[in-house]
Amino acid sequence: MNRTLIYRISEKDSPCTVESFLKARGYSRQIIIQLKKNRDSIKVNGGWAYVKTMLHTGDSLIIFMEELQSSEHILPVPLPLSIIYEDEDILVLDKPADMPVHPSINNYDNTLANAVAHYYRSAGEEFIFRCINRLDRDTTGLLIVAKNALSASILSAQMKERQIHRTYLALCDGSLPAPLGTIEAPIARKETSAIERCVDFEKGEQAVTHYKVLKTCRNITLAELHLETGRTHQIRVHMQYLGAPLLGDYLYHPDFTRISRVALHSFALEFVHPITGKPMCFHVPLPDDMDKALHLSS
């Protein structure tokens, strides 16, 4: 998606080259290379400029990022799309259950990417699907989609530095050992499975999960969870390790009498806006199926 950004050069940034100014604001090497290819991508005080052009206090720098490609292999499909927030740079979505994020074998037209492609195709806009944080097919809740290469680059760096904070809600079958706690148990791939993970203190990678008990009803616990690390199936494995596996977890606790999917929800999302630098915070309530399962146990 095309994006135009205008910068006024301050005294603390002057003098510097266009390239050094952009790098300091999160422009990747690849983005800068693309800017160099288009004569209209970089302008200083209204005139065409090079990446080596010097900038001085008071200069106006205009950057035009043109989207030259689209996610052409993602089929636009009119699927439900719950938009929590949207501006020129980001899209925050509330993903439903039973929806993969990306297309894959046997999932070509039922994904979040298909829904987003249809949303922008309907608006006559080309779009590359750049999802920043991922959720499993059955996990509901908040996701960030970057609408241009720059916001994707900056948000991806935030993810790598663990500066995007996610809070999960889960329904656990059983009670947790304390109202507040931290699980430090390394996770590894289970030797007998290509998919399952397990706690393995010899071969596992460090995994840390913080939990807080919010409510307990007839041996069902509603827990708030924060991840310090991001291992595959981390919450699911750690809850099983504590003896309170997630309801409806087909891999680690296949009991579907109270809910038909893994009872895990990405409830809150906090991050810094990639362009404005403004703190962003979003919350979405517990989905109906998890709320119903909890109240049935009351």
User: Which domain CATH number covers 7?
Assistant: 3.10.290.10
Within-domain flag for 285: no
Q: Residue 74 falls within a domain, yes or no?
A: yes
Shared domain check, 208 and 183: yes
Cis-peptide, bond into residue 285, ω within 30° of zero: no
Q: What are the φ/ψ torsions at residue 38 (nearest 5 degrees)?
A: -115, 120
Q: Give domain status of residue 286, yes or no.
A: no
Same domain, 58 and 108: no
pTM of the model: 0.90
Whether residues 60 and 114 fall in one domain: no
Distance between CA 152 and CA 55 in Å, rounded? 26
Measure Cα distances from 286 to 109, 158, 219 in Å: 26, 26, 19
Residues 127, 113 contacting (CB under 8 angstroms): no
- Asked if residue 161 belongs to a domain, the reply is no
Annotation says 136 is catalytic: yes
Cα–Cα distance for residue pair 76/119, rounded to 1 Å: 8
DSSP letter string, 67-86: -----TTSPP------EEEE
Residues 192 and 217 in one domain: yes
pLDDT digits (tens, 9 = 90+) for 32-43: 999 998 888 999
Boundary-marking domain end, from 156, 181, 204 = 156
Residue 298 pLDDT: 58
Same domain? 173 vs 245: yes
Catalytic hit among 13, 40, 136, 291: 136
Clarify whether residues 78 and 139 are in a common domain: yes
Digit-coded pLDDT (tens) for 18-31: 999 999 999 999 99
**86 plus 112 within the same structural domain:** yes
pLDDT at 38: 85
Would you say residue 272 lies in a domain?
Answer: no
71 vs 108: which has the higher pLDDT? 108
Q: How far apart are CA 276 and CA 105, in angstroms?
A: 38
CA-based end-to-end distance of the chain: 48
pLDDT in tens, 86-105: 999 999 999 999 999 999 98
Q: Which of 1-15, 62-76, 268-282, 283-297 has the highest mean pLDDT?
A: 268-282
| Angstrom distance (rounded) from CA 93 to CA 122 | 18
Are 93 and 145 part of one and the same domain?
Answer: yes
Q: Give tens-digit pLDDT for 135-171.
A: 999 999 999 999 999 999 999 999 999 999 999 999 9
Residue 43's domain spans which residues? 3-65
Short-list 196, 185, 171, 192, CA closest to 250: 196
DSSP state of 36: H
**Co-location of 108 and 30 in the same domain:** no
**pLDDT score recorded for residue 29:** 93
Note the pLDDT of residue 289. Answer: 95
Number of domains in the chain: 3
Residue 295 lies in a domain: no
Domain CATH for 181: 3.30.2350.10
